[in-house]
């Protein structure tokens, strides 16, 4: 199959879909993370050491959300980057820092919960706030080192210097594919297996322990559902279609255009939108971290409903009935 068949790839879909998702994620993400962090800090003394990771999760989201306006402009202008090469790399670095930082902190939360539920006597008094802070610093350092090679790949096209690729130009796509596969293994797949192992063991333990509080079982199942939602919607599609897209570009460079190129391209754009949703969905972890926060949200909704029900009817409203 020659290159002419690749002209059927729907490049216009990216310019319509991605900016709309970015706008939605920016608004919802800022509101949700702002409210979640405020509630977390307000109840800080009542919460456990695991909330150091929840706090870092929120900070990673805020860092990425602040870069979204620039990406909205970029995709709205038909992929024309006007903010300079250095800031392009910084923006892409912030995205990866948020993505793999989120996965790292979710992994830490899962391990902490596993130890607290399955081995409570062994870890009692041994895990302090200092340990949580130190582990958080290590996560930031490891994720930064892992993402650092991405900064050395050009984000511009040789034929169009106004581009700001989230991967790299087609000239270097083979090397980037190798890097991406290794990145996927260490930054996504291994943490995912750790999370599944921790919560799989927790669920088995709770199901075979009849003396365990039912509330604990429910909260553990809720958190497992949140993790499944995050990984199924945000993380898994992103990594699958990112690497498939890179592979299709490698084939294109070899003058081969497979019939699935257009489908993978569109799926890749959708997965890019979905992976951004992690910044809006991560506040669900705040709700789970403190049961009072979700109860507070229900009370606020109940008060708003009661206020609407009690609102007096004006003469004008009567005339409109």
Count other Cβ atoms within 10 Å, centred on residue 93: 16
Candidates 1, 58, 63, 8; CA nearest to 32 is: 58
- What sign for the dihedral angle of Cα 250, 252, 254, 256? positive
In a domain, 273, yes or no: yes
Angle (nearest 5°) at CA 238 between 202 and 189: 40
In a domain, 158, yes or no: yes
In a domain, 306, yes or no: no
Least confident of 2-16, 45-59, 166-180, 196-210: 2-16
Least confident of 46-60, 140-154, 282-296: 282-296
CA–CA distance, 81 with 216 (Å, rounded to integer): 49
CA–CA distance, 284 with 306 (Å, rounded to integer): 25
What is the domain extent for residue 83?
11-300
User: By percentage, how much of the chain surpasses pLDDT 70?
Assistant: 80
User: By percentage, how much of the chain surpasses pLDDT 90?
Assistant: 33
Concatenating the DSSP letter of every residue in 34-86 gives HHHHHHHHHTGGGS-TTHHHHHHHHHHHHHHHTTHHHHHHHHHTTS---S-HH
Is the confidence at residue 272, as pLDDT, over 70? yes
Say how many domains are in the chain: 1
Is the confidence at residue 2, as pLDDT, over 50? no
In a domain, 143, yes or no: yes
Q: So what's the pLDDT on residue 35?
A: 83
Q: What is the mean pLDDT of residues 252-266?
A: 84
8 Å CB contact between 103 and 61:
no
Is the confidence at residue 4, as pLDDT, over 50? no
In a domain, 176, yes or no: yes
Concatenating the DSSP letter of every residue in 134-161 gives HHHHHHHHHHHHHHGGGGGS--S-SS-T
Average pLDDT, the chain: 81
Q: So what's the pLDDT on residue 211?
A: 56
In a domain, 282, yes or no: yes
In a domain, 311, yes or no: no
Q: With bands split at pLDDT 50, 70 and 90, how would you rate the model's confidence at 313?
A: very low
The pair phi, psi for residue 220, each rounded to 5°, is -65, -40
Count other Cβ atoms within 10 Å, centred on residue 299: 11
CA–CA distance, 75 with 78 (Å, rounded to integer): 5
Concatenating the DSSP letter of every residue in 75-94 gives HHTTS---S-HHHHHHHHHH
8 Å CB contact between 246 and 318:
no
Q: With bands split at pLDDT 50, 70 and 90, how would you rate the model's confidence at 178?
A: very high
- Return the higher-pLDDT residue of 165 and 282: 165
What residues contact 116, with CB distance under 8 A and at least 6 apart? 48, 50, 123
Q: So what's the pLDDT on residue 105?
A: 92
Q: So what's the pLDDT on residue 258?
A: 79
Indicate which CATH number applies to the domain containing 218.
Answer: 1.20.1070.10
In a domain, 315, yes or no: no
Least confident of 28-42, 48-62, 74-88, 286-300: 286-300
CA distances to 10, 111, 206 from 195, in Å = 37, 7, 16
What residues contact 241, with CB distance under 8 A and at least 6 apart? 264, 267, 268, 270, 271
What stretches of 82-232 adopt beta strand conformation (E)?
none
CA–CA distance, 167 with 155 (Å, rounded to integer): 7
């Amino acid at each position: 199959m020659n290159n002419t068949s690749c002209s059927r790839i729907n490049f216009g879909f990216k310019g319509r879909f991605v900016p709309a998702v970015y706008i939605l994620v920016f608004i919802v993400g800022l509101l949700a993370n702002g409210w979640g962090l405020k509630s977390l800090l307000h109840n800080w003394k009542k919460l456990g050491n695991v909330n150091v990771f929840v706090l870092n999760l929120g900070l990673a989201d805020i860092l990425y959300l602040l870069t979204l306006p620039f990406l909205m402009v970029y995709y709205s202008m038909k992929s024309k980057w006007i903010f300079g090469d250095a800031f392009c790399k910084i923006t892409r670095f912030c995205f990866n820092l948020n993505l793999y930082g989120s996965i790292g902190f979710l992994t830490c939360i899962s391990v902490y919960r596993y130890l607290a539920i399955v081995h409570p006597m062994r870890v009692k008094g041994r895990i302090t706030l200092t340990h949580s802070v130190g582990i958080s610093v290590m996560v930031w350092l490891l994720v930064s080192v892992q993402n650092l090679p991405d900064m050395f790949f050009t984000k511009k096209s040789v034929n169009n210097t106004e581009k700001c690729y989230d991967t790299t130009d087609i000239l270097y796509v083979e090397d980037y594919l190798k890097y991406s596969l290794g990145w996927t293994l260490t930054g996504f797949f291994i943490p995912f297996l750790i999370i599944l192992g921790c919560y799989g063991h927790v669920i088995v333990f709770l199901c075979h322990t009849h003396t365990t509080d039912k509330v604990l079982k429910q909260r553990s199942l809720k958190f497992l559902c949140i993790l499944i939602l995050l990984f199924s919607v945000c993380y898994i599609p992103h990594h699958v279609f990112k690497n498939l897209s890179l592979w299709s570009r490698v084939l294109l460079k070899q003058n081969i255009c497979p019939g699935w190129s257009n489908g993978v391209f569109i799926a890749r754009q959708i997965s890019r939108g979905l992976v951004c949703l992690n910044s809006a969905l991560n506040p669900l972890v705040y709700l789970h971290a403190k049961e009072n926060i979700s109860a507070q949200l229900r009370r606020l909704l109940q008060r708003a409903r009661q206020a609407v029900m009690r609102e007096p009817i004006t003469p004008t409203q009567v005339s409109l009935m």
